[in-house]
Amino acid sequence: MRQIFLYDTTLRDGTQGEDVTFSVEDKLKIAQRLDEFGIHYIEGGWPGSNPRDMEFFNRVKEIRFQHAKIAAFGSTRRAKNRVEDDANIRALLEAETPVVTIFGKSWLLHVKSALQISEEENLEIIEDSVSYLKAQGRELIYDAEHFFDGYKGNKEYALRTLRAAERAGAEVIVLCDTNGGTMPHEVSAIINEVKNHIKVSLGIHTHNDCELAVANTLAAVAQGAVQVQGTMNGYGERCGNANLCSIIPNLQIKFGYCCVHPEQLRRLTDLSHYVSELANLSPRKHLAFVGESAFAHKGGVHVSAVMKAPATYEHIEPEQVGNRRRVLISDLSGRSNVVFKAQELGIDIQEKSPEAQSIVEDIKQKEFDGYRFEDAEGSLELLIKQRMNDIGWKDFFELDEFKIIIHKESKDSHPVSEALMKVRVGEEIEHTAAEGNGPVNALDNALRKALEKFYPELKSVHLSDYKVRVLDGQDGTRAKVRVLITTNNGQVSYNTVGVSTDIIEASWKALADSIYYHLMKTETPVSAL
């Protein structure tokens, strides 16, 4: 089983992506998680380019890594500079990392237009820089920037740049598709030719501008590349870098190469989400292998088959990459979906029972009316238990009436919202009034004020998100709206949904479900006391 070495550049190349930012603390935490996962090389940044990367390299020296080697990244020396006096080269050495990765020019377009130097001078710069850093005791990785474009422009010169790095002692030469425009068949053919001229180990670094970064990486490995460079979740400049969250399971599960231990591979989904969290970005649901939707099934035919034999609609076991199977409930659902979801909730229901068919019909009607249960499993569980006549469904509280008053004294004053509410709990009726920052907040405050007398633990429950979606925009202000509420009870978060042509009514439905869901999970119904 051939070993493939993983080189993660999330902390450097990944941060060049739009909206991706990591603090020094974030970068240190991510580096440690990458090490635990089994990544072989972690590129920490470009020393000297900014204070954040300088601080990272200063502090990462204090961390003992069990598996990974930290790499500092930079360029070859500048033209006309002596290598030992070049500020970039000095910064790479001052980072005191065991590995240094430098990039040089392979494409004559860059040599002549960007650097504005001769072909021979560029070769000298590459060889000088690699040999000097190698002589300082560093493991040296050479990134041949724009190699595939350079090769297609002038094959002989592109190969000469690689031979210069090889002569100077580079341990790995990485062929870079920097513009992301190369096709997989081109990658295969070019690497197959490069092997005839270069004896040192080859690596691959691709970008995703044609949505081919992963495919190009796999093609390169199939032709003999032993190091793959990429980022977590495919973060990177423009359309991103090659996504290691797809590359690793493809290489290990599909190709049979050795990347990480199988137990480490089971942490891949957690690692992906962890990096997303520190980047302050929502995990991308539709990522292969690690996305929330990667093993989600919606169509009734699919669900029925998966329940009998998962391989019918799943190419691997989700647990191999730390993910899980999900069954979605929608107007496309059949009884199989409902049975699967009920079993997840611990509810015993037979697929051919009248209750199962009733739930399916109810869901289809509600989805037609604008509900969406894929993102509101709290409301879905309540619906199923209501139809199954689960104990306690209507016993926690019941609304008798509410009234919303919005008062604005003048055009420059802020409106004041007040909610008046009458709620029945068991045999008692509670009248409350509360103000709020808008009518929905006033309604929320009034409901909690009424119920906390009976259920004091509601003080720990709070809304963490509130979304409104207009469903029929052509109807203007008469349009139906869907309200999705995310609630946190101090332990877990869950979503509930409400739909109406009145935004207050839609909000009430979602709000009431959120409170009822919490009580159902934590309390004994009043009628059962």
What are 476-514's pLDDT values in tens digits?
667 788 899 898 887 888 889 999 988 899 999 999 899
Query: Per-residue confidence at 473, pLDDT binned at 50, 70, 90?
Result: low
Crossing angle of the two packed helices 155-168 and 184-194, in degrees rounded to 10? 50
- Which CATH number among 2.60.40.1220, 3.40.605.10, 3.40.30.10, 3.20.20.70 corresponds to the domain 5-278? 3.20.20.70
Residue, of 374 and 205, whose pLDDT is higher: 205
- Give domain 398-528's CATH superfamily: Alpha-isopropylmalate synthase LeuA, regulatory domain (3.30.160.270)
In the chain, what are the helix, strand and coil shares in percent, each to the nearest 5?
A: 45, 20, 35
If phi over 0 gives left and psi between -120 and 50 gives alpha, with beta otherwise, what is residue 377?
Answer: alpha
Residues 74-103 have a mean pLDDT of 95
User: Which stretch of DSSP H or E encloses residue 445?
Assistant: helix 439-451
What confidence tens digit (pLDDT) does each residue in 123-149 have?
Answer: 999 999 999 999 999 999 999 999 999
pTM: 0.74
pLDDT digits (tens, 9 = 90+) for 383-441: 787 777 654 455 788 889 999 999 888 888 888 899 999 999 888 999 999 998 888 89
Which of these, 11, 55, 13, 16, lies nearest to 35 by C-alpha position? 11
Q: Residue ranges per domain, the chain? A: 5-278, 296-365, 398-528
Kindly report, residue by residue over 280-315, the tens digit of the pLDDT.
Answer: 888 898 999 999 889 988 776 777 787 778 888 889
User: Which secondary structure element, helix H or strand E, spans residue 425, and what is its range?
Assistant: strand 416-425
**pLDDT score at 306:** 77
For the stretch 222-265, pLDDT in tens is 999 999 999 999 999 999 999 999 999 999 999 999 999 999 99
Given a contact cutoff of 8 angstroms between Cβ atoms, the answer to whether 31 and 68 are in contact is yes
Q: From CA 45, how far away is CA 67, in angstroms rounded?
A: 19
User: Which carries the bigger pLDDT value, residue 371 or residue 321?
Assistant: 321
Closest CA to 249 of 280, 218, 223, 275: 218
What per-residue confidence (pLDDT) applies to 282?
Answer: 82
pLDDT at site 145:
97
